[in-house]
Amino acid sequence: MGPAIVAKAMEDRRLPITDRLVMWFLSRHLLDWHEFREVRITYLAPALRIEDRSAGRAVRQLVRSGYLEIETRSRRLRAYRLAPLALEEQSPSAAPCLTAFGDAHRSLGATIPRAVEQALDDRALRPSQRIAMWYLARYFLVHNDFRPVKLVALGSTMAVREQTAGQALRVLSSAGYVDVRHREDLRARVYRLPWTRRTALETP
């Protein structure tokens, strides 16, 4: 993934879900931390399936929060780039390769899991469902084992309601982004992070 400032923004629960998703999209498709570039709201909003005013507000909030830097070129033209982390925050645990996913993912090349990338870029998913995939991979799921997910914990980690977290997990499971099994001994479902999104013909 991109620079560590993106991982920091995705972990910032003070930001609304939409703002975190905008930060991901900007870092993946439009901006880097070297060059100031124009961001067209008329492109950004449809790409994320959000309203123009929501996209504009998110960009302004990301600037105010220090995640984006802005350059005013004229009265109506502004350009942006990703803000660099402060020098004291440039530690190995905050490397641009997103070590925020922990030791399990660091051993896989320290890149964001492909299934997470696919979910974050899936316009058919709601913003909360796309962000849920990030948190599931960050805190709850691994590739090599099925684990239970407590919706109270997922909702608290995402800073959303438990019902929203539960709906996101169900949608992600049915869409093939999360593997699910029913464990009779626990009378509960357990989940696993796939390497990539599964199609309807594939089984965990």
Ordered domains of the chain (ranges, CATH)? 4-85 (1.10.10.10), 112-192 (1.10.10.10)
pLDDT tens profile 119-146: 999 999 999 999 999 999 999 999 999 9
Give which of 121, 128, 135 is closest to 197, Cα–Cα.
121
**What's the pLDDT score for residue 90?**
45
Give which of 142, 168, 125 is closest to 21, Cα–Cα.
125
* pLDDT interval class at 186 (50, 70, 90): low
User: What is the token pair recorded at 160?
Assistant: 């959303």
* pLDDT interval class at 187 (50, 70, 90): low
The CA-based dihedral angle spanning residues 180, 150, 112, 193, taken in that order and rounded to the nearest 10 degrees? -20
Beta carbons of 181 and 189 less than 8 angstroms apart: yes
Q: Which amino acid is at 192?
A: R
Instruction: Tell whether pTM > 0.75.
Output: yes
Cα–Cα–Cα angle for 152, 180, 28, rounded to 5 degrees: 75
* pLDDT interval class at 76 (50, 70, 90): confident
Q: Which amino acid is at 93?
A: S
Q: What is the mean pLDDT of residues 186-195?
A: 86
Residue 36 predicted with pLDDT over 60 = yes
**What's the pLDDT score for residue 185?**
64
Rounded-to-integer distance, Cα 10 and Cα 46, Å: 21
